[in-house]
């Protein structure tokens, strides 16, 4: 694609977003660097990012790093950009060592201008590269919502299928610890509402690695909603998941625990109290089937439906606000499906509280779904 086409895309993304001239120049220089180097760079194993030893457990942070390392090694068109992703190794150390291995041309530190570097990434994707655009938190992605929704999500449709946008938007989403209302919002349903976007929400290390690799290889824009509180969590990793070719299909849920009495459905951080609730219910002789959605768009309703036909009861768990949440959509789809007649009771929801996230620890905890909430709703559904 000729340079002037990139220049035109960049100009539209930046000036339409009202970015100052100084920032425009900085980001134009970054794009010049990409155009001159990314397409010709030779991959060298300068350092090993995530050693694939015989260990059977790995943190979600390391599994995300492993996925990016493998895909950047596999495809020289893949590059990472965002705030502090390079020299600082990422705000949460997710990209630790990647700049030392792949260099400044493929791991790019950006100014604090989400609208600017997101526009740059979308333009690069239109030109055939495969950017991984990291947001320090998805709360900051609000600054680039126009580029994500109006440019990345809609261009394939508006171009009659002529222009793809193979880009990944990733970073922490939802509740963290003591970062208050403006840094704790869950944007899951915001992005899941948009035609043209794919949205995935990993819970485990295998989810994180396999979904991110699938997202990077996808020709459509994919939003990968990680969670800060899960970065340090250690999860089992199978030998298969440690392989370079391991992928988790986008749009396919996973049954984390088999059961016969009630179905519990959640995703991302909400899986933590959900899995614990299943253990508590088992102590009382209640067999709960736990479904990890993994993907919100496309949405694997078939797995939920088949489970409900078996168990006849369901409780959904969302970390976000109750109005128009994922649980609401599950409820309506069940009402419209042949699984409705299999229900022996209402669909119950457990959600975050309908308030901005508080700062104090006790109120912050009260604003999120807890183990006791899930157990209580499960028993209500079963009339116990």
The catalytic site residues sit at 114, 183
Instruction: State the first-to-last Cα distance of the chain, in angstroms, to the nearest integer.
Output: 64
Place of tokens 């950047």: 72
* Alpha-carbon distances of 183 from 177, 200, 286, 359, rounded to whole Å: 10, 20, 37, 10
Cα angle: 46, vertex 47, 53; to 5 degrees: 140
Contact at 8 Å (CB) between 28 and 116? Answer: no
Beta partners for residue 80, in sequence order: 107, 132
Secondary structure (3-state) at 11: helix
Contacts of 252 (CB under 8 A, 6+ apart): 294, 295, 300, 303
Contacts of 120 (CB under 8 A, 6+ apart): 10, 13, 14, 27, 30, 31, 81, 110
Read off the tokens for 148: 């994500």
Contact at 8 Å (CB) between 98 and 85? Answer: yes
DSSP state string for 55-113: -SEEEHHHHHHHHHHHHHHH-TTEEEEETTSSTT--TTSTTTTHHHHH-TTTEEE--S-
Give the separation between CA 325 and CA 330, rounded to whole angstroms: 9
Cα angle: 32, vertex 70, 118; to 5 degrees: 40
DSSP at 144:
G
Give the separation between CA 85 and CA 329, rounded to whole angstroms: 35
Give the separation between CA 293 and CA 255, rounded to whole angstroms: 9
Secondary structure (3-state) at 296: strand
């Amino acid at each position: 694609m000729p340079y002037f086409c990139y220049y035109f895309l960049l100009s539209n993304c930046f000036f339409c977003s009202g970015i100052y001239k100084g920032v425009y120049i900085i980001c134009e220089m970054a794009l010049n660097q990409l155009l001159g180097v990314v397409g010709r760079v030779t991959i060298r194993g300068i350092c090993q990012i995530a050693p694939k030893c015989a260990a059977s457990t790995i943190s979600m942070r390391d599994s995300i790093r492993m996925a990016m390392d493998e895909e950047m090694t596999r495809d020289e068109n893949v590059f990472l950009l965002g705030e502090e992703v390079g020299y600082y190794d990422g705000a949460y150390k997710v990209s630790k060592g990647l700049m030392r291995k792949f260099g400044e041309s493929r791991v790019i530190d950006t100014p604090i201008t989400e609208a600017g570097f997101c526009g740059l990434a979308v333009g690069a994707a239109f030109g055939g590269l495969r950017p991984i655009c990291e947001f320090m938190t998805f709360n900051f992605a609000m600054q680039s919502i126009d580029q994500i929704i109006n440019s990345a999500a809609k261009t394939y449709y508006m171009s009659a299928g002529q222009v793809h946008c193979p880009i990944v938007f990733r970073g922490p989403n939802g509740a963290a610890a003591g970062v208050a209302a403006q840094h704790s919002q869950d944007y899951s349903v915001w992005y899941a509402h948009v035609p043209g976007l794919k949205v995935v929400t990993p819970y485990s290390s295998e989810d994180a690695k396999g979904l991110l690799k699938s997202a990077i290889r996808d020709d459509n824009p994919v939003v990968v909603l990680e969670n800060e509180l899960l970065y340090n969590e250690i999860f089992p990793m199978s030998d298969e998941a440690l392989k370079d070719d391991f992928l988790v299909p986008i749009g396919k849920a996973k049954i984390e625990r088999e059961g016969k009495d009630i179905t519990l459905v959640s995703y991302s951080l909400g899986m933590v109290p959900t899995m614990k609730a299943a253990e508590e219910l088992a102590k009382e002789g209640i067999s709960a089937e736990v479904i990890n959605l993994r993907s919100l768009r496309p949405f694997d309703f078939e797995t939920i439906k088949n489970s409900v036909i078996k168990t006849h009861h369901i409780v959904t768990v969302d970390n976000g606000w109750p109005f128009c949440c994922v649980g609401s959509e599950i409820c309506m789809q069940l009402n419209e499906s042949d699984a409705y007649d299999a229900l022996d009771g209402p669909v119950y929801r457990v959600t975050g509280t309908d308030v901005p996230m508080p700062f104090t620890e006790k109120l912050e905890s009260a604003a999120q779904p807890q183990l006791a909430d899930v157990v209580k709703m499960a028993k209500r559904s079963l009339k116990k």
